[in-house]
Amino acid sequence: MLPIELPIYFNTDETSNLEKMGIDSHVKNCEVRLMTFFAINAIGSAKESDDFEYGIIYTGDGSFSSVLTYKELKELLI
């Protein structure tokens, strides 16, 4: 399955500034860009306060928030 291209949430200037001020911003306020993964160590899930779910991809020392849910990531990767 690897490499695989997946849609990932990236902070915008606005969401980065809110984060720096200690203000939570909804993940849907982030920019979505494609990212190619050559290795994935694990996947997980996260949920916003309004129950909006999205997937987390763990690779190396980093983690990335995916537009896809845990279930959708699992189906793609298995």
In whole angstroms, give the CA distance from residue 38 to residue 11.
22
Residue-range domain boundaries for the chain: 4-77
What's the confidence (pLDDT) of residue 19?
A: 84
Q: Taking residues 41-60, what's their average pLDDT?
A: 96
Per-residue model confidence (pLDDT) at position 60: 92
The span from the CA of 20 to the CA of 61, in Å, is 22
pLDDT in tens, 6-40: 999 999 999 988 889 998 888 999 999 999 999 99
pTM: 0.89
For tokens 């306060």, name the residue.
49
